[in-house]
Chains A and B, each alone.
Chain A
């Protein structure tokens, strides 16, 4: 089965530099590397939009009703009041769009779109994806969907405002912004499925000769398993969205019971008889696995980065693979833990608590294996390594805070409080986004052919790391205090008033965190074009992508590959070097050893003269 499609689909085997028109090369490109870069640039633009929304939210929470500094007066009337302060209507839109953008237009496109596209063909030694055209369609659906989601701004009632979870009846009775949100997510789902099918096919069929499944790097395994979750889960979301669209736009009643009292909408056309909880079941059946879609690729990238910079084989490779498979499988049967207080039968609460507790086990296995990888390693703390190390530590916090929610009685209190907000940000920012930073720095030389500035990257890392913790750790305390999610003004409640100084502290940190991201853009933007030229294998890493030129040309590899071993043979006694690429043949290895021995002998014979 190996390499069946390899060098066959493309008329031009291997690397070649033929000229293409600007549009074919940069816009409607079918080259997986260009598509990965397109995903990256688009997602980073959305990262800044979603981040700006978060800062408006934070401003309002720290200083309720006070005008936004500097730009408050410049914002449109539908967003701010006359004084330039956030309105409650815009606030609900902001929190909805912040969540939706960050999840669907930033984290998933960065981890799955960018790393999946860039790393899979290169790491398995293929010249492109199995379906390059589908790949292009998969990308172009994404900015289209993003624009549709944001287009609610031009509609009456503004953007979607029912939270990123869009619970009906609130979402069903909402105005056009919500309709656009549904359409947008539907398109993103399409994009995901096209990508998912592509990744699965590519990994199964296009591996280089000699590359066995259990010789794949963790990044490939993680994206492969993620792709399977995507293809299983996304159709369920799509069907739920289709029903919600009909409830919202065509007045059907999948999720709406009889006789809803809604003065703002003509409810005589809605028959009723639906069940609001049905949406929650369908939505979380996708969206809980989606949390793992957003963390598994990160775990893969981090495994590769830690192994490379610790110069040590990944500890417990097979356990790591099986842990990912276990997470993917268990991830499908834990969705009910979002619904403990929803009115679902409490007996189901018990069931989902047990499955949720069990899913913590594979996460623990992964953490211990990362520790094992670092044990007796020779670690070099480059920017990718720093971000990967931060990932592990932050993921531990996110994992542990998850246990509180998994325990149903504790969840009674912390459900829908800032404890959840803190938890999700430790997983999705402390986890996924640090993994994204690790991966972007790690593959930057391969993507651009140049080196980024290590100094700027370290500044970016430390500022981000500190202000990240300053922003999100206190949120756990707010949650313990009982502060509800998604409230516009916490000072309305007496029991929340003592937390106002903490809210201010969080907001100041959040601003530092937001502005620190410009360092990343400056670093990447400048050094992408003006950086020092990168060598083929600047990190002295084993996996196949480092055998291609930097940056790899169309078709990727300039010589035929054969794979002899797994990607983690660092510091192997077989080799005289501290790494052993997957493609080094036993003959080459023998040659290296002889060469090395000769040099040692020469040194030894030369020494007595001195």
Chain B
């Protein structure tokens, strides 16, 4: 059944899939065992004639104890085993130093992406400044923000680099879902949540919204381009140029 999983191309995704497989095999084993006993009982212990008496027995404390203790031990093991991987994925103190920070803003039914400009610094943003034309609420007074690169529904990242996604939403709750990266994180308006991943393979992958955000929920599809460092540099340089030209044009207009 696990062959149906989308291809995993992320570093911590290995851990997720490993745990997925482990729990799958344990579950299948328990399922087969319980149901084999069950079916055997159903076949064996049928009533053959009316009024036939069964075995009068109320239970056994040792058995009760063992089938309490064994699942308890198994489930606690699973919980603590899972927790190691969970901490690696989500705990902020375990997040590796990012090579690239991308801000992501959900809007019904779009994804906005923001990269720092050629200065490598994000401009200051403020929740109150968010509007349909300024999805991140970038402060127009802050010079650092003037060359920031923004894209819609398309995210470019370099391969084999730690990407930190800083996530929020303009309106309702969305969920940033990268099936191939094993990433899912809700985008909650009014709060920023960090999630990281590291893709080990170049290619084009899909971005989906996993939290109901309205009737166009299904349309909230984006594309994730995992590129070689070289391709990514070319792409981001183009974006810098576009941003600078737009900025220069805007200044000209204001000067006139």
Contact status A492-B218, CB under 8 Å: yes
Convert A405-422 into 0s and 1s, putting 1 for each residue whose CB lies closer than 8 angstroms to a CB of B: 011111011011100000
Contact status B47-A481, CB under 8 Å: no
Contact status A409-B184, CB under 8 Å: no
With A169-B171, A380-B47 in contact, do A489 and B218 touch (Cβ < 8 Å)?
yes
Closest to B71 in A: A364
State which residues 1-39 of B face A: CB under 8 Å: 1-2, 4-6, 15-16, 19-20, 23-24, 26-27, 30-31, 34-35, 37-38
Contact status B212-A485, CB under 8 Å: yes
Closest to B213 in A: A170
Convert B207-247 into 0s and 1s, putting 1 for each residue whose CB lies closer than 8 angstroms to a CB of A: 01111111111110100000000000000000000000000
Out of B63, B184, B217, name the residue touching A413 (CB < 8 Å).
Answer: B184
Contact status B19-A409, CB under 8 Å: yes
Contact status B35-A393, CB under 8 Å: yes
Closest to A568 in B: B58
Contact status B190-A257, CB under 8 Å: yes
Convert B116-145 into 0s and 1s, putting 1 for each residue whose CB lies closer than 8 angstroms to a CB of A: 000000000001101110000100000000
Cβ of A371 within 8 Å of any chain B Cβ, yes or no, is yes
Out of A272, A379, A568, A578, name the residue touching B46 (CB < 8 Å).
Answer: A379
B136 to chain A, nearest CB (A): 12
Closest to A574 in B: B56
Q: Which residues of A contact B64 (CB under 8 A)?
A: 316, 319, 365, 369
Contact status B59-A350, CB under 8 Å: no
B189 to chain A, nearest CB (A): 5
Out of B24, B63, B179, name the residue touching A482 (CB < 8 Å).
Answer: B179
Contact status B54-A315, CB under 8 Å: no
* B-contacting 9-mer, from A197-205, A394-402, A432-440: A394-402
B114 to chain A, nearest CB (A): 16
State which residues 281-319 of A face B: CB under 8 Å: 310-313, 315-317, 319
Cβ of B173 within 8 Å of any chain A Cβ, yes or no, is yes
Closest to A416 in B: B210
Contact status A493-B208, CB under 8 Å: yes
Closest to A570 in B: B54
Cβ of A452 within 8 Å of any chain B Cβ, yes or no, is no
Cβ of B42 within 8 Å of any chain A Cβ, yes or no, is yes
* B-contacting 9-mer, from A10-18, A28-36, A260-268, A519-527: A260-268
Out of A275, A354, A577, name the residue touching B79 (CB < 8 Å).
Answer: A354
* B-contacting 9-mer, from A73-81, A146-154, A340-348: A340-348
In the bound assembly, the distance between CA atoms of A489 and B216 in angstroms comes to 10
Out of A92, A169, A377, name the residue touching B54 (CB < 8 Å).
Answer: A377
Cβ of B152 within 8 Å of any chain A Cβ, yes or no, is no
State which residues 553-609 of A face B: CB under 8 Å: 568, 570-573, 577-578
B205 to chain A, nearest CB (A): 8
Cβ of B248 within 8 Å of any chain A Cβ, yes or no, is no
Contact status B128-A409, CB under 8 Å: no
In the bound assembly, the distance between CA atoms of A563 and B199 in angstroms comes to 69
B134 to chain A, nearest CB (A): 10
Out of B42, B72, B180, B186, name the residue touching A358 (CB < 8 Å).
Answer: B72
B233 to chain A, nearest CB (A): 27
State which residues 328-366 of A face B: CB under 8 Å: 341-343, 346-347, 349-350, 353-354, 357-358, 360-361, 364-365
Q: Which residues of B contact A317 (CB under 8 A)?
A: 58-59
Contact status A572-B210, CB under 8 Å: no
Contact status A342-B56, CB under 8 Å: no
A88 to chain B, nearest CB (A): 4
Cβ of B185 within 8 Å of any chain A Cβ, yes or no, is yes
A96 to chain B, nearest CB (A): 9
With A170-B214, A311-B54, A480-B1 in contact, do A381 and B86 touch (Cβ < 8 Å)?
no
Contact status A412-B182, CB under 8 Å: yes
Q: Which residues of A contact B45 (CB under 8 A)?
A: 310, 374-379
Q: Which residues of A contact B180 (CB under 8 A)?
A: 495
Contact status A311-B89, CB under 8 Å: no
In the bound assembly, the distance between CA atoms of A568 and B57 in angstroms comes to 10
Q: Which residues of B contact A341 (CB under 8 A)?
A: 175, 184-186
Closest to A312 in B: B54
A461 to chain B, nearest CB (A): 14
Contact status A477-B4, CB under 8 Å: yes
Contact status B90-A413, CB under 8 Å: no
Across chains A and B, which 9 residue pairs bring their CB atoms closest together, nearest first? Answer: A257-B190, A346-B90, A316-B59, A376-B55, A487-B218, A357-B75, A378-B47, A482-B179, A416-B210
* Chain A to chain B contacts (Cβ below 8 Å), 17 pairs: A92-B215, A311-B53, A313-B59, A341-B186, A347-B91, A361-B72, A379-B41, A389-B42, A404-B20, A407-B82, A409-B15, A481-B6, A484-B208, A484-B210, A485-B212, A573-B56, A577-B51
